[in-house]
């Protein structure tokens, strides 16, 4: 079983490039905790960034690993250079229906 989390960020106007320059620092940290990046898309015209990560197991297992990841020193280091340009977020678990 795989659980997928969809993450959508509304970025501050004109800050997409700042976010995109920082985002690659996050991927190896997520991967270290078993997350797989499924896709990452930007809509620069509307200053949005949408991405999805997957992890083996059910939603409970995903949440447990995510809590460990959130508290990790590796994540803290990655966020030392975060450009603080996310104005709003939508995060939820999704199911493929295609």
Q: How many domains does the structure of the chain reveal?
A: 1
Task: Give per-residue burial for 49-82: e unless 16+ CB within 10 Å, then b.
Answer: bebbbebeeeeeebeebbeebeeeeebeebeeee
The domain in which residue 68 lies consists of 2-94
Query: What pTM did the predictor assign?
Result: 0.92
pLDDT in tens, 19-44: 999 999 999 999 999 999 999 999 98
**Domain harbouring 42, CATH code:** 3.30.70.100
Per-residue confidence (pLDDT) for residue 98, from 0 to 100: 87
Helices assigned H by DSSP within the chain = 16-22, 27-32, 59-70, 73-78
Residues of the chain with pLDDT > 90, as a percent, come to 96
Please say if the pLDDT value at position 81 is more than 90.
Answer: yes
SS3 73: helix
């Amino acid at each position: 079983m795989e659980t997928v989390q969809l993450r959508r960020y509304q970025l501050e106007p004109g800050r997409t490039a700042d976010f995109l320059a920082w985002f690659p620092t996050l991927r190896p940290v997520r991967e270290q905790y078993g997350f797989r990046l499924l896709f990452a898309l930007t809509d620069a015209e509307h200053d949005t960034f949408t991405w999805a990560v997957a992890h083996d197991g059910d939603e409970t297992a995903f949440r447990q690993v995510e809590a460990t990841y959130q508290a990790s020193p590796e994540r803290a280091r990655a966020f030392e250079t975060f450009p603080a340009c996310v104005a709003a977020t939508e995060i939820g678990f999704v199911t493929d229906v295609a």
